[in-house]
Structure 1
Amino acid sequence: MGKSIFFNLVLSFLFLCCYFSLTPAQNAIQLPLKAVNLGNWLVIEGWMKRSLFDDIPNKDLLDGTQVQFKSTKLQKYLCSENGGGTTVVANRDSASGWETFRLWRNDESSFNFRVFNKQFMGLENQGQGNTLVAVSNDPGHSETFQLIRNEGDPNRVRIRTSNGLFLQAQPDSPVTADYEGSSWDDSDPSVFEMTIVSGIQGEYQISNGYGPERASQVLQDHRSTYITEDDFRFMSSNGLNAVRVPVGWWIAHDPTPPQPFVGGSLKALDNAFQWAQNYGMKVIIDLHAVQGSQNGNEHSGTRDGFQEWGDAYIQDTASVIDFLAARYADNPNLAAIGLMNEPMSPGVTLDTLIRYYQLGYNAVRKHTPSAYVILSNRLGPADSKELLSFAGGLSNVAIDVHYYNLYSDSFRTMNVQQNIDFVYNQRSSDLRAVTTTNGPLSFVGEWCGEFAMQGASKEDYQRFGKAQLDVYGRATFGWAYWAYKCDSNYWSLKWMIENNYIKL
């Protein structure tokens, strides 16, 4: 009897040892990861699916659209003197920064105009005068204008002010809001030729463009169809073992985020975790869009393209990380949380970024000791190794680098072989520089099969893709292709796999 009890105790002990040793292994992250970004799912990027914006009225005048106005009478451009802080005139022969205005959209025809130094155009003395100035930091009634577009030529406009009258440009004087005429003649001082310089198509633009009810339906339909459980089956069956999911700061306020954002992204992220579990995959959550915008790009959730993230937003941004970590820390499919995507140097200083990264790291560690924390390198004029010293004192961290053979003139002059050689030589060297022996892991968080040369053949793309897989496969945390789906074929990993352009 004693031997039997002893034997049973030994068996129980061995079972428990095996259980507790196997359970972590079942949930352990097998590095390096082969991942894909689920871009344009929970953070909209219009270039990836432009049809999402098709039904917005005046869709060419969304938040952040940069416009210039040329008086047809004077043949001179509107200009905020000194870039802002004083009067608005119409006396420039050519247009640059001071002559460019960024739209804040109130509705399809009502706007605020933000100038170069970030003030808003409006009427003097808080609307009591009729001279046009750019002095307000917060737009109100006197900084609100209606754009009246000519039916036959929508870039021919008149601008109605809060006093009900129109702007007019007169020689050698500030622009005033006191014109009552209604003609579209070139000689009319209230007629301007509007040039659209550039636009933004991000989450803010689609949400504010459609308005809360319509945007909620459009984005709900998009989220439920753009990425589905069947996509996770496809990814898993084709050699991928993880997804990187870009999210916006408003997800922490779901289901009722601040306007104009609409709810629903949190439920979609929950679905991603469930589908990942169903197909044995891991999830990297990446905070892609932060309050104030860390880089001014549409994927940062920006309203108007200005980069304004900084010290004032650190605590709020860390709170988003805390929310995400608290919600998913115990989920066995969580691989990592990326604290911020593509902060831009020099607008985001290294000191500010490190202060935030420390708070974000602490927020993750408060809820889990094992999930990886991903620190994104700054874009722009920044040292790719600048985070290594800081990250060396942290546990389970990875440095995120993004490699695209695009966006600079040097790539536009390269032929196919030169692009491939650049990957094997320069990219390989860059990756080695951030892949340390005892420090943080390295992660190529974004790359794609597209490159700057036009007219490449299928074989060219295959060779270029293979070169990147060879090199980025040496990243110790792994890599993530951008993106799973995209209207541009070479950016879509699903299309690349289905059409035999790339093999994992």
Structure 2
Amino acid sequence: MASPGYSSILLLLFLCSCNYLAIAQNLPYKAVNLGNWLVAEGWMKPSLFDGIVNKDLLDGTQVQLKSTKLQKFLVAENGGGANVLANRDSASGWETFRLWRVSDSTFNFRVFSKQFVGLDSGNKLVATSNSPSNPETFQILRNSDDPSKIRIQASNGMFLQAQSETVVSADFQGSTNWEDGDPSVFRMTIVKTLQGEYQITNGYGPDRAPQVMQNHWNTYITEEDFRFMSENGLTAVRIPVGWWIAHDPNPPKPFVGGSLAALDNAFTWAQNHGLKVIVDLHAVSGSQNGNEHSGTRDGYTEWGDSYIPDTVAVIDFLAERYGNKPSLGGIELMNEPTLGPDLDNLKNYYQQAYDAVRKHSEMAYVIMSNPLDHSSTELLSFFGSFNRVVVDVHYYNLYSDQFKIMNVQQNIDYINNQRASDLSSVTTKNGPLSFIGEWTAEWNVKGASKEDYQRFAKAQLEVYSRATFGWAYWAYKCQYNHWSLRWMVENGYINLSFSI
């Protein structure tokens, strides 16, 4: 007969093995991304921005300015660090200015080399300041009949004027009849806009943003959605969050508090309906890729070594809060980094962030990604040095020229051949688990039938079910139907039982 101590050890081992089996049985996950919930993405629900004054002039909007008198574009000479001139026949990078929104009509202009346009000691226009203050602040006045025609008022109260190709100054006084011969009138062309979390919160401002965002969080995703997911075969959700969530309820401006309570609710709802939650740090301080979903202010990628301690602190916060929650499926350390040739900062961050998770949980899966501008296998050997780690890859038949000319069958063949091969290359023996963290049944095929979409979705489900950690569709809700998994399920375009 075994001793009581030995029996206790056997019981403990049995319980541990049962717990491990229970965790293992959840894999691979069939998941969906709750995009545009806790990190705003305006393309998914543009109406969120409708109440913002001058909503086409949010932070990060890229504009080009043409003197109507000279018929020349303004340019930051050398891309910055010198005078602003009016001598370009066409516009490119040096002739493009990124807005920092101060108020509904007041802005800073950031140039190619990241300096700000301002006044020198007199009234000449220069682009030499590394941070904006009063001399770098300008008011844009738009023509009510033609909003692309503008005048720009400087901090000295005067209007900018293009006196000549080499002299742009803030010394024009008086009104205008908006004629093209007026040197204070410019034609503004909007080249690109951003609609992310920074844009919506700064656009509404501190008085309106808290209520707008709270209403969005309360209504965009509810417990009923978690019930729907569970009843239709999903086993997990991937929830993008921003770095400011760690500072809730009083995050740095312009972000507003409340997203943390929404994430807490998600964990409760997930437990109620038998789902797992993958917390995905989608937006990091400084921006890891310049996209609006990274929380960027103006589209520049500035995350690097100096941002590592703050970013690790966010992961530490999330791991401490959720690391031992039974519904935690994993913590993703950074979404879609695009960081150039130097991988040392990213590897350093991954090591520190992994250690931060392990301080609070030995069992939580830690999810890492290769930079988008590198091979998907670039860091596989590095990832393999960690325990319970996952490599995240994103597969879209979009965004590159090769997909623009593919027909229905070519897209399906690409999934069955190239995507299957790509997935096999990151699903290695004794390596990290593989996770297709984003994919969609949308493509560039015009006039595709419902049956075409069904075949395309089925092919992806069959191939992506080979990922050892699972897959996550982008997204659960979206204004574009084929991006919305709920719509696709309800309308018979996707049958999740196809997934093994």
Instruction: Please indicate, yes or no, whether the TM-score normalized by the shorter chain is above 0.5.
Output: yes
TM-score, structure 2 as length reference = 0.96
Whether contact under 8 Å (1:29, 1:335) holds in the other structure is no
Whether contact under 8 Å (1:62, 1:199) holds in the other structure is yes
Alignment match, 1:487: 479
- Post-superposition shift, 1:174? 2.1
- AA aligned to 1:300 is S
1:178 aligns with 2:174: no
Alignment match, 1:306: 300
Shift in CA distance, 10/359, structure 1 to aligned 2, threshold 3 Å: closer
C-alpha distance in structure 1 between counterparts of 2:387 and 2:9, whole Å: 31
Alignment match, 2:489: 497
Shift in CA distance, 172/53, structure 1 to aligned 2, threshold 3 Å: closer
Query: What does residue range 38-437 of structure 1 map to in structure 2 within 5 Å?
Result: 38-125=34-121, 129-183=122-176, 184-346=178-340, 349-380=342-373, 382-437=374-429
- Post-superposition shift, 1:442? 0.6
Helix, strand or coil for the counterpart of 2:164? coil
Shift in CA distance, 10/162, structure 1 to aligned 2, threshold 3 Å: closer
Helix, strand or coil for the counterpart of 2:92? coil
Q: Deviations over 1:68-97 (max 9, x none)?
A: 111111101111001000000111111111
Whether contact under 8 Å (1:344, 1:378) holds in the other structure is yes
Whether contact under 8 Å (1:31, 1:476) holds in the other structure is yes
- Post-superposition shift, 1:323? 0.4
- Post-superposition shift, 1:213? 2.3
Structure 1, unaligned stretches of length 5 or more?
none
- AA aligned to 1:89 is L
C-alpha distance in structure 1 between counterparts of 2:165 and 2:360, whole Å: 64
Shift in CA distance, 14/430, structure 1 to aligned 2, threshold 3 Å: closer
Shift in CA distance, 29/122, structure 1 to aligned 2, threshold 3 Å: farther
Shift in CA distance, 171/280, structure 1 to aligned 2, threshold 3 Å: same
- Post-superposition shift, 1:352? 1.2
Structure 2, unaligned stretches of length 5 or more?
none
Helix, strand or coil for the counterpart of 1:269? helix
Helix, strand or coil for the counterpart of 1:366? helix
- Post-superposition shift, 1:10? 11
Q: Deviations over 1:320-348 (max 9, x none)?
A: 000000001110111110000000141x7
Helix, strand or coil for the counterpart of 2:82? coil
- AA aligned to 1:264 is G
Whether contact under 8 Å (2:154, 2:160) holds in the other structure is yes
- Post-superposition shift, 1:181? 2.9
Does 403-412 or 371-380 show the bigger shift?
371-380
C-alpha distance in structure 2 between counterparts of 1:105 and 1:408, whole Å: 32
Whether contact under 8 Å (1:167, 1:190) holds in the other structure is yes
- AA aligned to 2:90 is S
C-alpha distance in structure 2 between counterparts of 1:428 and 1:174, whole Å: 59
- AA aligned to 1:235 is M
Helix, strand or coil for the counterpart of 1:87? strand
Q: Deviations over 1:192-213 (max 9, x none)?
A: 0110111000000000000112
C-alpha distance in structure 2 between counterparts of 1:8 and 1:373, whole Å: 37
- Post-superposition shift, 1:384? 1.3
Alignment: residue pair count: 495
Whether contact under 8 Å (1:243, 1:480) holds in the other structure is yes
- Post-superposition shift, 1:29? 5.7
Identity %: 68
Whether contact under 8 Å (2:288, 2:339) holds in the other structure is no
Query: What does residue range 5-16 of structure 1 map to in structure 2 within 5 Å?
Result: none
C-alpha distance in structure 2 between counterparts of 1:153 and 1:161, whole Å: 21
C-alpha distance in structure 2 between counterparts of 1:136 and 1:40, whole Å: 35
Helix, strand or coil for the counterpart of 1:201? coil
- Post-superposition shift, 1:377? 1.9
- AA aligned to 1:51 is S
Question: 2:29 pairs with 24, 29, 33, which one?
Answer: 33
Aligned CA RMSD, in angstroms, stands at 1.8
Whether contact under 8 Å (1:27, 1:332) holds in the other structure is no
